[in-house]
A and B are shown apart, each in its own frame.
Chain A
Amino acid sequence: MISVQNISKIYGEKKVLNIEHLEIPKGETFGLVGNNGAGKTTLFSCLLDLIEPSSGSISIDQIKVNESEVWKNKVSAFIDESFLIGYLTPEEYFYFLGELRGQNKATVDEFLKQFNDFFNGEILNAKKYIRDLSKGNQKKVGIVGALIGKPEMIVLDEPFANLDPSTQIKLKNLIRVWSQDSNVTFLISSHDLSHTTEVCNRIVVLNKGEVIKDIKTNPETLRELENFFAEQVSPMEL
C-alpha cells in the first residue's frame, strides 16, 4: 500500500532521512521506533506531503503523494497539536472532521459513543475549548479525531506520550481491536519499546535517518530492541 522509494531529506549538510526502500502492505500495524532525531516525524511528514523530500518519493496505492491528493480519502493522521483547532470544543472538532470526511452529526455522535470510556468523562460536554484542555486530553481528542470516518490508514506520532497509564492500556486495546480489521493500516511511532512491541506486528528501527532493523514482531522482539538501544549507550555513560 505504501511504498517508499529512495527517499532522503537534507537540511544544510545534515542528512536527517535516508531510506532506500520500504514497503508497508495493507492491514499492517507498523511501528516506528528510534531516538530523538532518528527521522520518525520527518518520515511521517513526507508521507503526509507536509514537507518535500530532497530526493525520492512516497506512494500510496501507486500514486505519489506529492502529485495527486487522492490519498487524502484514505489517510488520517495525528502528528502533534498543530492538528488540533484550539478554539473549537471537542464536539465541534469531531463534527468538523466528520463533515470533511462525509459524515453527518448523527453518525459522528454514534461513532463517539464507543469512546466514552477512553475519554473518561473529561472531553465530551466538558464545556471547554480544546486549547484549554490538559495535554493528555488534547492528545485523546487528536487521536479520536484521526479515527473518525474509519479511514484505511491511520498515522499516529507518539500516541502514548502524555497519556496516563490507564489510557495507554485503553489505547493499546483500541489499536489491537481496530487492526483486526484487515483493511486498516496503522503507522505508529513511539519511544516506548514495550508498547510498540505489544501492538505492532512489524517494527522498524530508525537511526540517524536510516533503517537499521526491520523485524516481524515475535516474543523475542522486545529483548532484541532493548539490547540494540543499550548498545547505543556508551559504557562511560553507564
Chain B
Amino acid sequence: MFVKLLRLEIKSFFRNPQFGANLAMKILMFFMMAYFSVIFVVLGLGFHYLVNEEFHQDSLKFFSRYFIYYWILDLLIRYFLQQMPTQNLKPLLVQNITKHKLIQYSIIKTFTHFFNWGYLLFLIPFAISLILNDYSVLGVLMFSIGILFTFYFSNFLNILLNGKTAVVVSVCVVFAALGGLEYFNIIRISEISEKIFYSFYAVPGAFLIPVVLTSILAYFVYKTFTERFYLDKGLETEKAEGKTENIEFLNKFGVTGTFINNDIRLLKRSKAAKSAAIGGIMFLFYGLLSQMDVYSSDFMRFFTGIFVTGGFMFMFGQRVPSWDSSYYPLMMTQNVPYKQYLKAKWTLVVLATAVSMVLALFYVFISWELYFVIFAGGLYNIGANAYFTLLAGAYNKQSIDLNTAAKSFGGGKNAFNLRTFLMMIPQMLVPMAVFAVVKYFFGMFPAVAAIGLLGLIGFLLRDKIFDRIVKVYKSEKYSTLKAFKES
C-alpha cells in the first residue's frame, strides 16, 4: 500500500510544473544543492578542529552548550515552512484504504522532509570526526541518536503546534530574552543546555529520554490526527472570516491606488504572499553578516546594502506577475493598460524599499559607515532595481498557489530562471563595482553619491524603461496566460 502511495508522491513531484522549468535551471539547482551539502559536510568535519584550535574547548561540550538555541531556531523555521502534507490525501479518503494507513503514511512522509534529514549532513561527519579524535564510539553513537530524536521531537511538536502562532512566537521571544540575558552574563541557559545534551554522550541511557519523549509525542500526533481526519476539521484549510476593507487614502491615486489596495489585501490574506513578505523582513537582518570576513571588501559590503533594503523587492517584486496568476485572464480582459498595472506594483516595491531604509537605521549602532552603504543600496534599489525586477518578471511564468505557504528548500516555488539570473548583473554586479571603485579613489561620501546618481538616472528614465517593460510583457502575454493556466 505504502508503495502505491509513494508512487503517487513521486509522480506529483516530477509532474509539478515548477520542476519542469528548464534544464539550465535544474543544473543550477543541482549545483546549489551540492554546494550547500559540501558546506554542511565540511562544517561537520571541521567543527571539532575549529573549536579545538580557535577556542581551545571541547567541541562536543561547545556544541551541546549552544544547541538549545539552534533547536529553538529550527523549531521556528519549521513552524513557518514545514507543513503537514494533507492536501493530497483528499481523493484517497473514500478509497479502499484504512484511515490508519493514510495517517501513518502522512506521518512517515514528514521524515522525508529536508528539515528531518538535512542536518545529518552535518551530524554524521561531526560524529565521525569525534570518533577519529578518541571520543568513545559508543558515547558518540548515543549522542547522535539523542540529537536525531531531538529533531524528530520538534518534527512532531511542529505538527501539534500547527496554527498556534501565539505559542510559538512567545516561546521564541522567551528564548530571545534568555539569549540576551546570556549575552550580558546574567543567566546562562547555555549551561543547562550543555548539561542536558552532553549527558547523551556522558550518561549511558540518557539518550533514551528524547527517544521516549518522541514516541509519546508521536502517539499524540497520531491520536489528534485520527480525531481531525475529516474534511471539515484537520483536512480543511482554515477559513478566515472575510472582512471588506479598503485604504481610502489610496483611492485618490485612481487605478494605481486600486491596484495597490488589492496588493495589500493579497499580502494580508494569501499565505504565499504573507510568507514572501515575512521573508523580505528577514533580509533586513542580512547586514549583521557584514561583520564576517567575506564582507570586508567594499565590493561585498555593497552587496549587503542591496540585500538589506531589497528584501521585499526580491521576495515579492521578483514574482510579478505570478502573484496574479490565478486570475490573470481577468486582468487581461479588463480595461487597464499594462503600464498602470506595472506602475502599481512598482510603487509598492518602492514604498517597501523606502520603509526598509528607515527600519535599517538600527545598523547605526554597528557603524555609521555600514548604514551609509545600506542607504546607497536602498537608493539603487529604488532608482534602478525596482525596474529590473519587473523586467525580469516578464519572463517569469510560474504560477503561484496563493493558498499555500511557499515551500522550503528545493521544492521552492521561486521564480528562478536563467533570465532572472542574468538580470543579477545590472541588479547587483554593476552597482557593486561602481561603489567599490569610487570608494577606493574618492572615499565614502562620493561613493554613496555615485550610487545615488545611478539611481536618480534610473528614476528619471522610468517612463522609457516602463515602455520597454510593457513591450516585453505584451509579447509574452499569450505564453504567460498558457503557462499560468497549465499549472
- Spell out A's residues near B (CB within 8 Å): 48-52, 69, 72-73, 75-77, 79-80, 82-89, 91-92, 95-97, 99-101, 126-129, 131-132
Contact = CB atoms under 8 A, between A and B. Distances in A.
Interface residues of B, number: 34
Nearest to B271: A87
Nearest to B478: A52
A2 to B, nearest CB: 15
Nearest to B267: A87
Interface stretch (B236-244, B355-363, B434-442): B236-244
B141 interface: no
Contacts, number: 90
Contacts of B246: 92, 95
Interface string B320-362: 0000001111101111110000000000000000000000000
Contacts of A95: 246
A76 B402 contact: no
B83 interface: no
B265 interface: yes
A100 B258 contact: yes
B256 to A, nearest CB: 11
7 contacts: A50-B481, A51-B478, A79-B329, A83-B329, A83-B333, A89-B244, A99-B255
A138 B273 CA distance: 22
B335 A73 contact: yes
B403 interface: yes
A92 B255 contact: no
SS class of chain A's interface: helix, strand, loop or mixed? loop
A92 B239 contact: no
Contacts of A100: 255, 258, 334-336
B482 interface: yes
Nearest to A125: B244
Contacts of A83: 327, 329-330, 333
Nearest to B241: A127
A177 B372 CA distance: 66
Given A73-B335, A87-B265, A100-B336, A128 B327 contact: no
B265 A86 contact: no
Contacts of B244: 89, 91-92
A99 B262 CA distance: 12
A20 B202 CA distance: 85
B228 interface: no
A87 B326 CA distance: 11
Interface in B289-333: 326-330, 332-333
A77 B402 CA distance: 23
Contacts of B241: 127-128
A97 B329 contact: no
By Cβ-Cβ distance, the 8 closest A-B pairs, closest first, are A72-B335, A83-B330, A87-B269, A89-B242, A128-B242, A99-B258, A129-B242, A91-B244
A50 B329 contact: yes
Given A127-B242, A127-B243, A129-B269, A85 B330 contact: yes
B328 A82 contact: yes
A49 B244 CA distance: 32
A127 B242 CA distance: 4
A72 B228 CA distance: 48
Contacts of B481: 50-51
Contact of B326 (A75, A76, A82, A92): A82
Contact of A129 (B240, B255, B336, B485): B240
B402 A87 contact: yes
